[in-house]
Amino acid sequence: MANPTIPAGHARVGAYHAVPGLIRSLGGQPEAVLRPLQLSEEFLENHDNVLPIATLGELLHRGAQETGCEHFGLLAGSHSGTGQIGVPGKLMLQFPTVGSALDALQRFFHLHNRASIVTLRCTEDRASLGYSVLTGSFRGVQELQDGTMAAALNIMRRLLGKQWCPSKVHLMRRPPRNPEVYLRFFGAPCVFNATRSDIVFPSSTLDLPLSNPCAPSRGDGGKLPMAETTLHASAAMDWVELVRRTALSLLLAGQCSQESVAAALKISTRTLNRHLERAGTSYREIADYSRFSASCMLIRETDMPLGEVARLLEYSDLSSFGRAFKRWTGNSPSTWRQGNQRPHYSLARPDTVHISRGHPSPHTTYPTFGNA
């Protein structure tokens, strides 16, 4: 088994291995994207190589610009699934039910990506599998989220069969010029300008057995899979990172408080504060950082009214949020939004690209928009 340790803020490149070929298939020049980032196709072909998440975001963003394809991230992610996320992807296939497999993905995703979080939420009648980067102050967040939702669809189809479709998909991004592409891709209604990115399905799905599980390699006495036993010793994060990931997950769900974070970590608030004090920080500082990260994503990637952003981030009013945002960035939220608008892609002509993504036929054609 490869060493699972990667630096904080970095991710393995396996999920993005298809980017050069995708650029080429859409009429672009991969070198025009890779060279400024000092990357090569050979580097991306090694799934265990790692890069800062901001570099991966820039890779997808430049790929979208080079090809003029506003759903470039979606197409890039369609080439990814359990096989491209390393140890977490292998581990989750050793569990008996969809729920336990997705829980393993959520718990061990940081062994593949220590700059983002996977969330698994469940109510009485519906569940959702979601994704978010830990900091949203760089280019390419939209493409990363689109790509990960495409990969999440592939993961669910690996667990449940090639015909599976979600009930709904939420995307933290502005509506594309052609929303039909997303509807056809996911096979479900897509909600844009959402507060988070996730795919939604009936909660009963979590109790279903995996359609094609991998047999675990068991130790003496039929204990837990050896892979999981090994990971328990290597999966620990420091408390600051662990609390930061938990706080952002709960914040995007609209329920972030010191008490809720402590409850999610199964510790008391006193213990939480003690761990953070030993690390030289406080819950207030971590919550402040989480609100800054979430606000950057919501303001840059969506058309959500600023008052609604303030409410979601638990500010008493827009003025309080504005003061905090100016302290973080030096600008008001409205000024920052104007200066960080996403580019308009050149929709020169309709085109098609073939994507292998686990459908009944080996290749499914989706409309794209590329420069000739």
- Say whether both 189 and 74 belong to one domain: yes
For residues 70 and 139, give the distance between their C-alpha atoms in angstroms, rounded to a whole number: 14
Nearest to 199 by CA among 106, 128, 99, 118: 128
For residues 202 and 359, give the distance between their C-alpha atoms in angstroms, rounded to a whole number: 21
Residue 2 included in any domain? no
For residues 199 and 252, give the distance between their C-alpha atoms in angstroms, rounded to a whole number: 15
Residue 5 included in any domain? no
What's the pLDDT at 238? 83
Contacts (Cβ under 8 Å, ≥6 apart) of 234: 4, 5, 111
Note the pLDDT tens digit of each residue in 336-366: 999 887 655 554 433 444 433 433 332 333 3
- 274: helix, strand or coil: helix
Cβ atoms of residues 64 and 347 within 8 Å: no
What's the pLDDT at 11? 95
- Say whether both 62 and 206 belong to one domain: yes
Range of the domain at 132: 11-213+343-370
What's the pLDDT at 254? 78
What's the pLDDT at 346? 52
Residue 43 included in any domain? yes
In CATH, what number is assigned to the domain containing residue 203? 3.90.1520
Residue 51 forms beta bridges with which residues? 11
Residue 226 included in any domain? no
Nearest to 333 by CA among 322, 319, 324, 342: 322
- Say whether both 122 and 49 belong to one domain: yes
pTM, to two decimals: 0.86
Residue 221 included in any domain? no
Q: Which two tokens stand for residue 215?
A: 């047999």
Residue 247 has φ and ψ, to the nearest 5°, of -65, -45
- Say whether both 256 and 358 belong to one domain: no
- Say whether both 96 and 142 belong to one domain: yes
The count of other CB atoms within 10 Å of the CB of residue 175 is 14
- Say whether both 242 and 329 belong to one domain: yes
For residues 367 and 81, give the distance between their C-alpha atoms in angstroms, rounded to a whole number: 21
- Say whether both 209 and 297 belong to one domain: no
Phi-psi group of 68: left, alpha or beta (phi > 0 → left; psi -120 to 50 → alpha; rest → beta): left
Taking CA 168 as the corner, what is the angle to CA 177 and CA 15, rounded to the nearest 5 degrees? 75
Tens digit of pLDDT at every position of the chain (372 positions): 444 578 989 999 999 999 999 999 999 999 999 999 999 999 999 999 999 999 999 999 999 999 999 999 999 999 999 999 999 999 999 999 999 999 999 999 999 999 999 999 999 999 999 999 998 778 999 999 999 999 999 999 999 999 999 999 999 999 999 999 999 999 999 999 999 999 999 999 999 999 877 766 544 444 445 455 455 544 557 888 889 999 998 888 877 789 999 998 999 999 999 999 999 999 999 999 899 999 999 999 999 999 999 999 989 899 999 999 999 999 999 999 998 876 555 544 334 444 334 333 323 333 332 222
Residue 129 included in any domain? yes
What's the pLDDT at 221? 45
What's the pLDDT at 77? 96
- 353: helix, strand or coil: strand
Dump the DSSP string for 175-211: PPS-THHHHHHHTS-EE-S-SSEEEEEEGGGGGSBPS
- Say whether both 359 and 292 belong to one domain: no
What's the pLDDT at 343? 57
What's the pLDDT at 12? 95
Residue 186 included in any domain? yes
For residues 340 and 199, give the distance between their C-alpha atoms in angstroms, rounded to a whole number: 27
**Burial of residue 188 (number of CB atoms within 10 Å: 0-12, 13-18, 19+):** middle
Q: Which two tokens stand for residue 119?
A: 């969330």
- Say whether both 335 and 347 belong to one domain: no
In CATH, what number is assigned to the domain containing residue 275? 1.10.10.60
Note the pLDDT tens digit of each residue in 291-326: 999 999 999 999 999 999 999 998 989 999 999 999
The DSSP code for 213 is: P
- Say whether both 355 and 258 belong to one domain: no
- Say whether both 195 and 122 belong to one domain: yes
Number of domains in the chain: 2
Residue 334 included in any domain? yes
- Say whether both 208 and 328 belong to one domain: no
